[in-house]
């Protein structure tokens, strides 16, 4: 068996960024910016008013000063003239500040009589003029690689970027295996269960930015597995679920090797998830997950999500960890790295009492994986431990 860190290093060696494509800005949210982009204009493109009021010369502002109103500047409809001595332009938020003016006096600090305003005694000292390019300048750069959130899309739109270079979505083919499986909605026999892992993994991969293809269930025989691997052609990543151990009915490895798998490793010193397999098969990376529901989902968090990030060009690295104090004592850990389903609280973190790898109810309640190193000594409440948020 190899360690989790060694398995991750092997997996990163099996994959590379999948390339780029250009998408319209309205389809860029959630995608990974693949190349740096530069602003095509200043923002704001002109000195702009930050408040409703009157644009005047700052040197003339004093209590009791009077100004003649010579025009109006509104958003999208600026004042074309210049503000001279003793003159003011009615101005609204976001409107261009006309030439000659360098101060906006808010309307609450004025008294208007026809076309004349008089400044009151307590004048707000702020100028309320947003300088041209105060947010960004033409040529300002948004660096890659980064996942684009709504705020990023708004920024790119303001920069007048209509199309965005993004990483292509890695295509992942999901193959659940086993004679015991039927699809949700079907009627299982007394010896069968519902296929759940592939649906959870599909949701996980798509949330991470991959395109997940759910293939038909492969049965526990070589012809069915060959058919499944044939259907997976064209995928960047093939994920099998179940059948990766060494029992009489565990035929994923023989079928994959028959179809050209160059296996990188098998078995990882972790729980849950020991019977993990990976390698290259043609143009795709294959990861064989264990069939226990919690094992496959935990391995998805620990191995597949970092692989997807690497394929998207976001760099190589393990699932990010955080630290919290324990809410309760925990005993000695065994020889394998343990990812315990745990619950976060306002004060810390505590593992659930039941850690069996078949218990999806516990996984659904968990919001963290508490990470125990191999042979970790007993821990007392209050000690700091590592965890991975879910």
40-74 pLDDT, tens per residue?
999 999 999 999 999 999 999 999 999 999 999 99
pLDDT at 338 over 90: yes
Q: Are 288 and 244 in contact (CB under 8 A)?
A: yes
Phi and psi (nearest 5°) for 137? -110, 155
Peptide bond preceding 44 in cis form (omega within 30 of 0):
yes
Q: What share of the chain is helix, strand, coil (3-state, %, to 5)?
A: 20, 35, 45
pLDDT at 377 over 90: yes
Computed over every residue of the chain, the mean pLDDT equals 95
CA dihedral 321, 317, 337, 291 (to 10 degrees): 110
Identify the residue whose tokens are 């494509």.
21
Element (H, E) at 72: strand 66-73
Q: Are 50 and 93 in contact (CB under 8 A)?
A: yes
The number of beta carbons lying within 10 Å of the beta carbon of residue 138 is 14
d(CA 263, CA 83): 77
d(CA 225, CA 27): 36
Nearest to 239 by CA among 286, 188, 183: 286
Helix (H, G, I), strand (E, B) or coil at 64: coil
Q: Which residues contact 203 (CB under 8 A, 6 or more apart)?
A: none
pTM for the full predicted model: 0.88
Greatest Cα pair distance, the chain, in angstroms, is 96
d(CA 106, CA 114): 17
d(CA 199, CA 250): 21
48-49 and 129-130: which strand pairing? antiparallel
pLDDT number for residue 387: 98
Give the DSSP letter of residue 370.
E
pLDDT at 247 over 60: no
d(CA 121, CA 62): 8
pLDDT at 250 over 80: no
Label residue 243 by pLDDT band (50, 70, 90): confident
Element (H, E) at 306: helix 305-311
Label residue 7 by pLDDT band (50, 70, 90): very high
CA atoms within 13 A on the CB side of 353: 0
Average of per-residue pLDDT across 85-90: 98
Average of per-residue pLDDT across 178-205: 93
Beta bridge pairs of residue 240: 175, 288
pLDDT tens digits along 15-44: 999 999 999 999 999 999 999 999 999 999
């Amino acid at each position: 068996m190899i360690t989790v860190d060694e398995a991750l290093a092997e997996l990163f060696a099996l994959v590379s960024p999948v390339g780029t494509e250009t998408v319209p800005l309205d389809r860029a949210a959630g995608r990974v910016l693949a190349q740096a982009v530069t602003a095509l204009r200043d923002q704001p493109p002109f000195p702009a008013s930050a408040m409703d009021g009157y644009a005047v010369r700052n040197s003339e502002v004093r209590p009791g000063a009077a100004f003649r109103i010579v025009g109006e500047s509104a958003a999208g409809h600026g004042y074309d003239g210049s503000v001279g001595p003793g003159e003011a332009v009615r101005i609204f938020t976001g409107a261009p500040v006309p030439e000659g003016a360098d101060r906006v006096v808010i309307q609450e600090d004025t008294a208007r009589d026809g076309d004349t305003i008089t400044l009151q005694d307590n004048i707000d000292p702020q100028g309320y003029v947003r300088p041209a390019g105060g947010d960004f300048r033409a040529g300002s750069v948004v660096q890659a690689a980064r996942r684009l959130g709504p705020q990023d899309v708004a920024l790119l739109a303001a920069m007048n970027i209509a199309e965005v270079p993004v990483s292509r979505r890695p295509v992942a083919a999901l193959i659940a295996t086993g004679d015991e499986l039927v699809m949700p909605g079907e009627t299982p026999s007394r010896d069968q269960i519902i296929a759940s892992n592939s649906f959870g993994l599909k949701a996980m991969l798509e949330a991470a930015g991959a395109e997940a293809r759910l293939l038909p269930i492969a049965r526990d025989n070589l012809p069915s597995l060959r058919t499944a691997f044939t259907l997976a052609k064209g995928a960047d990543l093939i994920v099998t679920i179940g059948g990766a151990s060494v029992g009489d009915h565990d035929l994923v490895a023989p079928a994959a090797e028959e179809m050209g798998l160059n296996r990188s490793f098998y078995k990882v010193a972790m729980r849950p998830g020991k019977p993990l397999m990976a390698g290259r098969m043609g143009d795709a990376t294959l990861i064989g997950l264990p069939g226990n529901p919690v094992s496959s989902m935990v391995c998805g968090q620990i191995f597949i999500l970092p692989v997807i990030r690497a394929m998207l060009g976001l760099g190589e690295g393990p699932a990010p960890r955080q630290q919290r104090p324990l809410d309760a004592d925990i005993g000695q850990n065994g020889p394998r790295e343990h990812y315990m389903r745990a619950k976060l609280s306002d004060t810390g973190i505590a593992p659930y009492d039941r850690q069996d790898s078949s218990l999806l109810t516990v996984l659904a309640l968990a919001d963290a994986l508490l990470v125990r190193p191999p042979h970790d000594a007993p821990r007392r409440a209050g000690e700091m431990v590592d965890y991975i948020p879910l």
